[in-house]
Amino acid sequence: MIQEIKNKLIIQELKPLIKGKKICYLTGAGISVASGVKPFRGKDGIYTNNPDLIYKLRPDTFETDPDFLYNFHEDFREQLLDKKPNIVHDIITKTAFDVITQNIDDLHEKSGFNKVIHIHGQVNEYRCRSCHFIYKGSFSQNQECIRCGEQKLRHNVVLFKENLLKNNLAMIVLEEAEIFIAVGTSGTIYPVAQYPQLTKAITICINPELPENHHMFQHVLIGDPEKLLMSLFSLTK
């Protein structure tokens, strides 16, 4: 009850501030849970239930156990085929100027928003480790790259110990944003967790639970992201 009162007061304060402003969202796995996609971290998360993945989802596994990496990401890609965006994705599509996402799914695109910066890549893409050419769709093991002929294809997903993809584009968006809203992210992955400190925008966090980097935001709303976003933008179902 106390949190609900706090949320209402914060939302009342924010409504006139966000009106007509350029909004940049940072989205995490939390927004896709309602679509049936398992999160990587948090309750029942893929990594939470299998912490040894930190030693397997690494670039050197391409040399030691490439079958594991292929099967892990291919299984996840196939699980996404029938998943549909939920109301949070739709609200973001209606209100966003830019979206930076940590998610490797394509639910933002399925919702109709195509200016998505996938800083962790996309599991429905693959690229060549030799010439770095990027393809859409799926591939088979030992398939040759049509550009260079090497058998070094991989899912276009960032692994532990690898740099973010398109981080330079994310920095440009953060510089231009007037409102920065992080939704469904745990705030544990760096350098992404520092994004609120890298923008001059008004910063807002919306999450079911208090994220680790909550102290970096000017405004923190804790609760159901769908309800909070609908209230913030005065939307109805």
Known catalytic residues are 120
From the CB of residue 130, how many other CB atoms can be counted at a distance below 10 Å? 14
Alpha-carbon distance of 41 to 133, in angstroms, equals 30
How many whole angstroms separate alpha carbon 153 and alpha carbon 159? 14
Spatial strand order of the sheet with 116-118 comes to 116-118, 98-101, 23-27, 179-183, 202-207, 219-222
Picking from 136, 114, 115, the residue whose alpha carbon sits closest to that of residue 125 is 136
Residue 40 is given by DSSP the state S
